[in-house]
Amino acid sequence: MEILVCIKRVPDTAENEIEVSSAGTDIERDDLVYSVNEWDNYAVEEAIQIVDNVGGAVTIVSLGDEESEEIIRREMAMGADNGILVSDDAFERSDGKGVASILKAVVEKGNYDLILTGAQADDGAGQIGGMLAAMLDVPYASVVNTIEVLNDAQLKIGREIEGGNQEMNEIALPCVLSIQTGINEPRYVGIRGIRKVASVDIPVLGAADLGIDAAGVGESGARVKRIDYFVPQLGEGAEILEGSNEEVAEKLIDLLKAKGGIK
């Protein structure tokens, strides 16, 4: 099976405090720790496991600047066969539809049976997989948490739905699936693994290589535009307890007792 996995380099929210820049037009990007989007990493692991079972090849594609090459290499060190970096100034500030149309051009240059994305990334929109499937006119399933290859033409998949339940479906290939975390246990990548793929060639494709009209993507093509960042105030916020850990613990114990939090 030929599998394409779409990945994104994002600030790691588990490692960073995200702050709005003073101009309000972006987040503070200095000193941020970046990594591969967590959902995408599960998608890559799943693709590798499928190919280990039924044969084929895994190709990683990332849309971003040259720094995204590092995450492509990291995912190749996990066992993916090929990597493609899609990069062009004309692609910057694309909206979801713009990103999906760029990826569509990448898909059409290959011959893929299965295309995986993460269920969502840093912007929480969860939109690229569904848009890409619709553009390619192939079936789609979101928040997938199990994949079983039935034959050359069909998969049995589980979708994680509300209440911890799972919705089982049969889906025809080729198709696009967005992958939920927890579908597998992504393998660890050591320094040695990264070193092995350090000199592998990762081609860079731009708008001209992909036959994309630059006016239809990037900022000029976007009909959905983020104009600023700000810090939400959802409620009054918590009363923050101050003092040494011992002092805070004593204050908290009094509050817990009052609220029935200590039996």
Partner 1 sequence: MAAQVFAYIEHKDGVADDTALELISAAQKIYPDALITAFVTGAGADLDAVCNDLAVSYPEVWKFDNEALAYPNAEVIRKLLVAVLPPDAVVLVPHDTFGMDLSPGLSIKLDSVFVSDTVDFEGFEGDNLKVIRQEFSGQVSTHVLADISAGAVINVRPGVFQPDESKSAAGQVVDKSSEIGELSAARRFLEIVEAEAGDVDITKEDILVSVGRGIEDQDNIEIAQELAEAVGGVVSCSRPIVDAKWLEKARQVGTSGQTVKPKVYMALGISGSFQHLGGLKGNPFIVAVNKNPKAPIFQVADVGVVEDLLDFVPVLTEKIQEGK
Residue with Cβ nearer partner 1 (53 or 166): 166
DSSP state for residue 167 in the 8-state scheme: E
Pairing of strands 204-205, 82-86: parallel
Residue with Cβ nearer partner 1 (196 or 220): 220
Largest CA distance in the chain: 68
| Residue 223 engages partner 1 in binding (rule: CB under 8 A) | yes
| Residue 230 engages partner 1 in binding (rule: CB under 8 A) | yes
Which tokens in the block code for residue 59?
């190709």
Instruction: Round to whole Å and give the CA distance between 107 and 115.
Output: 8
CA dihedral 4, 40, 97, 83 (to 10 degrees): -40
Which tokens in the block code for residue 227?
């104009």
Residue with Cβ nearer partner 1 (211 or 260): 260
Task: Write down the residue that tokens 């499928």 correspond to.
Answer: 50
Considering only residues 122 through 181, tell me which ones interact with partner 1, judged by CB under 8 A. Answer: 122-131, 133-135, 138-143, 156, 158-172, 175, 178, 181
| Residue 228 engages partner 1 in binding (rule: CB under 8 A) | yes
Cβ 99 to partner 1, closest distance in Å?
Answer: 11
Cβ 121 to partner 1, closest distance in Å?
Answer: 10
| Residue 14 engages partner 1 in binding (rule: CB under 8 A) | yes
Binding-site residue total for partner 1 (CB under 8 A)? 85
Pairing of strands 57-63, 2-7: parallel
Cβ 196 to partner 1, closest distance in Å?
Answer: 26
The answer, yes or no, to whether the previous bond of 174 is cis (omega within 30 of 0) is: yes
Q: Is 183 within 8 Å of 49 (Cβ atoms)?
A: no
Residue with Cβ nearer partner 1 (151 or 165): 165
Considering only residues 28 through 87, tell me which ones interact with partner 1, judged by CB under 8 A. Answer: none
Cβ 3 to partner 1, closest distance in Å?
Answer: 18
Q: Is 149 within 8 Å of 137 (Cβ atoms)?
A: no
Residue type, 107: V
Considering only residues 184 through 203, tell me which ones interact with partner 1, judged by CB under 8 A. Answer: 185
| Residue 108 engages partner 1 in binding (rule: CB under 8 A) | no
Instruction: Round to whole Å and give the CA distance between 172 and 113.
Output: 10
Residue with Cβ nearer partner 1 (192 or 263): 263
Cβ 185 to partner 1, closest distance in Å?
Answer: 7
Cβ 122 to partner 1, closest distance in Å?
Answer: 6
